[in-house]
Amino acid sequence: MTLHIVSKSPFSTQALSDCLESFADGDALLLIEDGVYALQHKALQDLQNTEIFYLAADSEARGLLPSAISCSVEAIDDARWVHLCTEHNPIVSWFR
């Protein structure tokens, strides 16, 4: 079970689409930094039965309100991020 971490906006890079091309059953997605803009991207709607997380502090810093975010994703803090890293192997960062 891979933890995929996307840190760049899907509106300015290919990071999210590259990530999703390599996604497998049981993988999880974490959106951080400008990657939280993916919460407004239609590509996430196609992911079913996938754990999707985002850093709450990063979405708040960018003005993304919880009401505008799909209920199929989970807001997390730094402590939960560390826990996710211990639950998954490998961990892949997408930033290109």
Instruction: State which amino acid sits at residue 73.
Output: V
User: What are 91's strand-pairing partners?
Assistant: 3
Q: What is the pTM of this model?
A: 0.93
pLDDT tens profile 17-62: 999 999 998 999 999 999 999 998 888 877 778 899 999 999 999 9
Mean pLDDT of the chain: 92
Which pLDDT score, from 0 to 100, does residue 71 have?
66
Cα–Cα distance measured from residue 88 to residue 12, given in angstroms and rounded to the nearest whole number: 28
pLDDT of 66 > 80? The answer is no
User: What are 45's strand-pairing partners?
Assistant: none
- pLDDT, mean of residues 6-24: 95
pLDDT of 88 > 70? The answer is yes
What percent of the chain has pLDDT above 70?
Answer: 96
Q: How many CB atoms lie within 10 A of CB 27?
A: 18
3-state helix, strand, coil in the chain (%, to 5): 40, 20, 40
Q: How many CB atoms lie within 10 A of CB 31?
A: 28
The structural domains of the chain, ordered by start, are 3-94 (3.40.1260.10)
- pLDDT, mean of residues 12-19: 95
